[in-house]
Amino acid sequence: MDSIGQRIKNARKNASLTQLELAEKTKLSRSYIGDIEKDRYNPSVSTLELIAAATGVPASKLLSTSGQTPTPPRGVRIPILGKVVAGIPLEAITDIDGWEEISPKMAASGEYFALRIKGLSMEPKLHEGDIVIVKRQSDVESGDTAIILVDGEDATVKQIKKNKEGIMLIGLNIDVYPPHFYTNREIADLPVQIIGKVVESRHTW
């Protein structure tokens, strides 16, 4: 019998959709759809319903039959990027420094990548060599820790403080990185770009 991933792949192809087109229709990431089709883990019911609506195949037909043993959920690999470039899709970045794993539930909620901490500016919370898991997004809330690109330089990890005049980048170790404030004009001209939100850190022993 076909696996659930194979049935989803067949449904997508029968609907004349690429993985990217299905991702756009369902608001899921392309890499997540690829992992489902490869049976790396079972999709949730809500994900099946999104795929069913996009392909025109009832969710009941996509589900595993009672005679099949469900594929156990597996973690999803995400790249540890050596460099982050604004506007470049993650799948197009080839500078990869290794791999980390996140849960299927997390992977289904957006696009994620990992970065290795360099320097001492975020001590004592983050140490050099630690890995941070980042959800790719172009804005964050004041108080969040984010990945930022300033004037096209390498990505930096800093806490964000916002006000109506601009944003301040804060390193927890102010002896290494005193707070830097950027006006709204500087944000546009340099530019100062938020690439993602840090959602988890992993300490390297």
The two tokens of residue 68 are 């099949």
- Which of 29, 31, 135, 158 is catalytic? The answer is 158
The yes-or-no answer on residue 158 being catalytic is: yes
Q: Does residue 103 carry a catalytic annotation?
A: no
For every residue of 76-104, DSSP letters joined together read: EEEEEES---TT--GGG---EEEEEEE-H
Alpha-carbon distances, residue 4 vs 17, 36, 141 (angstroms): 17, 8, 38
Active-site residue (options: 29, 31, 121, 135):
121
How many Cβ atoms are within 10 Å of 175's Cβ, its own excluded? 9
What residue ranges in the chain does DSSP mark as E strands? 76-81, 96-102, 112-116, 131-136, 145-150, 156-163, 166-170, 180-183, 192-202
Annotated catalytic sites, by residue?
A: 121, 158
